[in-house]
Every structure is written in structure tokens, then in C-alpha cells.
Amino acid sequence: MIILSGPSGSGKTTISKELLSNIPKLDLSISCTTRRMRNNEQDKKDYYFISEKQFLSKINKNQFVEWEEVYKNLYYGTLKSEIYRIWNNNRHILFDIDVKGSINIKKKYPNKSLSIFIMIQSLNILKYRLINRNTENFHKIKIRLKRAKKENNLSCLFDFILPNINWYDTKKKVVNIVKNFLSKKNDIGVTGFEPATARPPDVNSNQSELHPD
Ligand code: 5GP
């Protein structure tokens, strides 16, 4: 399992696309969300777009391996069935999810997973990137910036922290780290870069039961 995280706008989705095109045995875990579909998105490809009622019902039925109310009244979560779908196809899973969700997955699968944090260079750069992306209004951008500041402080709980200073370099480094990890039968022991601190503690986990490991 590869867990890619970082603040919204850090570039992790672009990096996850790079990973998917370079490593054919990787499959993206498609999350559920209650947010509205954007113009450039497709249901069941970018997300499973569902209503809040459907999302809450899935929580009650314990169908998520992790979920978060990432923004007020906006829920995001990874279905257990999604993990089985990918494993049953004999492929490795790539998660592109928020920081808390990543830490929770890492905690559930400490030896099967590698977690990578894409660090933003500065809040100003992130602000301009989000404005240019043009997917959120200014109020929502402000909320995302506030959240990014908090998320950067949790980066030390990841196996690797990579500052996204140069796109080309960052993408190359991530692909190498992931290839190395997968070639070592999922043991963490990647050389060439300094891992961050070892094991994550509990981070506001809202899920009780562990998915079978
Ligand atoms: P966006 O609305 O920009 O697609 O995503 C907002 C944030 O939610 C991003 O940081 C994204 O990585 C995160 N996210 C997407 N799917 C999941 C998920 O299944 N679980 C969690 N915890 N976060 C997710």
C-alpha cells in the first residue's frame, strides 16, 4: 500500500497520476465523497459521489476503513470493498487522501504501507496554486489554507517527507521511493532519503474496528 498525502493543492494528485503511469501494478483507491462533482470529474473514476445520507448509512454499516469530515459537512472515506477490489486484482493500492486519513491507514497497516507526505513550500505559493486551479471560491481557499497549515505540522508522522520545490524532481523521487518499496516486498527500508519518524500515534481516529490485515 502506498499512501500519498499532503495539503490540498500540494500537488499530490498530479504525483499520484505520475505513479500510476509509471508503475502498472498500482491501482488508485477511489474514495467516496459527499462534495459536488467538479466539471472535469467523473463519477466512479475520480470519486464515488454519494449523498450525505448514503455516506452516513455506510458509516453505520461499518463499510469504511477510514473516513473524515475533511471540511465542514463534507465527508470523504475509503471503503473496505475498495481495498478488496484492488487486492483481488492482485495489485498494489495507492491512496491519495487527507493527512489524518493517511495516518489512520498507516496505523492499521504499519508493515504493509509506505506513507509519503508532499510538503508545500509556502502558504503563499499554495494560495496562488489554488487560485489558479480555479475549483474553489475565495472563502473555500481560505479554509483550505488554514487546514494546510495544520496538516504541515503532522508531516513528521509520515515515512517520507518530500518538499515539492521542483515538479520534475519530486515526481522522479516519489517514483523511485515507491518502486524501491514495492521491490522489497513491502518492508520499509528504502535507502537514499531520510525517513521521518517511525510510527504514528492515534490521530482522532473515528473508526473503531480494524480492517483484517
Ligand atoms: P478534494 O475535494 O480537493 O478532491 O479533496 C479534499 C481532500 O480530501 C484532499 O486532501 C483529498 O486527498 C482528501 N480525500 C480524498 N479522499 C479521501 C478519503 O477517502 N479519505 C480521507 N480521509 N481524505 C480523502
- 131-161, pLDDT tens digit by residue? 888 888 888 888 888 888 889 889 999 999 9
Alpha-carbon distance of 202 to 44, in angstroms, equals: 30
pLDDT value at residue 185: 61
Domain containing 75 equals: 2-183
Asked if residue 82 has its Cβ within 6 Å of ligand 1, the reply is no
pLDDT (mean) for 84-109: 95
Residue with CA closest to ligand 1 atom 2: 35
pLDDT (mean) for 50-73: 96
In a domain, 23, yes or no: yes
pLDDT value at residue 6: 92
Question: What is the sign of the dihedral through the CA atoms of 123, 129, 135 and 139?
Answer: positive
pLDDT value at residue 198: 33
Asked if residue 29 has its Cβ within 6 Å of ligand 1, the reply is no
In a domain, 201, yes or no: no
Looking at every residue in the chain, the average pLDDT score rounds to: 85
Q: Which of 72-76, 79-83, 118-122 has the lowest mean pLDDT?
A: 118-122
Q: Which residue has the higher pLDDT, 187 or 8?
A: 8
pLDDT value at residue 184: 82
Q: How many domains does the chain have?
A: 1
With the most atoms of ligand 1 within 8 angstroms of its CB, the residue from 63, 68, 69, 98 to mutate is 98
pLDDT value at residue 186: 53
In a domain, 205, yes or no: no
Q: Which residues sit opposite 116 in a β-bridge?
A: 4, 160
pLDDT value at residue 149: 87
In a domain, 44, yes or no: yes
Residue with CA closest to ligand 1 atom 19: 77
In a domain, 89, yes or no: yes
CATH code assigned at 121: 3.40.50.300
> Which residue, chain included where needed, has cell 509520515?
158
- The SS3 call for residue 85 is helix
Confidence of residue 51 (pLDDT cuts 50, 70, 90): very high
Alpha-carbon distance of 38 to 129, in angstroms, equals: 17
- DSSP code of residue 155: G
Task: Calculate the CA dihedral of residues 107, 108, 112, 117 and round it to 10 degrees.
Answer: -40
Q: Using CB atoms within 10 A of its CB, is residue 53 exposed (0-12), middle (13-18) or buried (19+)?
A: exposed
Q: Which of 96-100, 102-106, 156-160, 161-165 has the lowest mean pLDDT?
A: 161-165
34 C-alpha to center of ligand 1: Å? 11
pLDDT (tens digit per residue) in 156-210: 999 999 988 888 899 999 999 999 999 986 544 433 333 443 333 333 444 433 3
- List, as one string, the DSSP characters of 40-52: T--BTTTBEE--H
In a domain, 65, yes or no: yes
